Amino acid sequence: MRLDRIPIDPNVCTGKPCIRGLRFPVSRLLGLLAAGETKESILQAYPYLEAEDISQALGYDLSLRDVLQLIVNMTADLMGSKICSILLYDDIKQELSIAATQSLSDDYRNKPSLKLNSSISGQVVQSQKPLAIEDVRINKDYGFQEMAKKEGIVSLLCVPMVMKNRVIGVINSYTSKPHHYMEREVTLLSLVASQAAVAIENARLNAATAAIQQDLETRKVVDKAKGILMSERKISEPEAFRMIQKQSMNSRKPMRKVAEARIMAAEVRQQQA
């Protein structure tokens, strides 16, 4: 999955990953999702965000990346896979993108996203059932036959990752030789997929919970700074907020840093009085 919409700039949000330089941290976006907001409601509330921003944010968190990579490595060893990969499902765009693989091939890693109605993985998402293909090189539903020949992959077992009756992605396991998957192999990979779905959701939840806690702490600091400005300058709460926001934008510093500076200055003045 490409993450070209999430740059890291030391001068923006103290180096935190942000959406397209908008001073909108990925952690904040994950926090909104964890708090119960839907992708649609977020896009409506923040019209400068785009669906792809949310898709990339969901695949960004480093701890999630670590979880995904661990899963594909262990699954490849367990299944004897030539290539093992996890594709995460974007329910807005209705497509799947590679989120992790143990393949070192750039051609495979850079495969384009897969549409539900024109891919084997998409069929698995729709049916929520495993699907085995004995030879992807000649299967008409497999869209990368030339790449399969080049990479030396033949048979495919694709299994859905389901969480609370919702498909969040698939695990693909490829062999280097023609292979007829036995029922026990399908059951084994299905069990792995079930455990993987729980691990992925937990990783996302942990990241979102931390983001919510950070947002709450920031809100407290900003509220305290607003109170100081309202008292000192006899202005309304919205005016105090806009003042902090404007200073944040002009100084290219996070609102929390600006608010903390305001609070510190007020404390110094109080000590000197």
Domain boundaries, given as residue ranges, for the chain: 1-60, 62-205
Q: Are the folds of 1-60 and 62-205 the same?
A: no
Over range 153-160, report the average pLDDT: 97
Mean pLDDT for the stretch of residues 36-58 = 85
Instruction: Find out whether 241 and 255 touch, Cβ atoms under 8 Å.
Output: no
Per-residue pLDDT reduced to its tens digit, 198-226: 878 877 766 666 666 777 788 889 999 99
User: What is the model's pLDDT at position 34?
Assistant: 54
Residue 233: burial class (beta carbons within 10 Å; 0-12, 13-18, 19+): exposed
Assign domain 1-60 to a CATH class.
mainly alpha
Q: Which fold has domain 62-205?
A: Beta-Lactamase (3.30.450)
Answer whether 0.85 is exceeded by the pTM: no
Q: Which region among 5-19, 34-48, 172-186, 237-251 has the lowest average model confidence (pLDDT)?
A: 5-19
Integer Cα distance of 186 and 233 in angstroms: 69
Amino acid at the residue 273:
A
Rounded (5°) CA angle 168-62-101: 60
Burial of 74 (0-12, 13-18, 19+ CB in 10 A): middle
pLDDT at 135: 96
Q: Look up tokens 């919409």; give the residue.
A: 5
3 state SS of 265: helix
In b/e form, how buried is each residue of 46-72, taking b as 16+ CB within 10 angstroms?
A: beebeebbbbbbbbbbeebbebbeebb
Q: Strand, helix or coil at 241?
A: helix
Mean pLDDT to the nearest integer, 100-123: 89
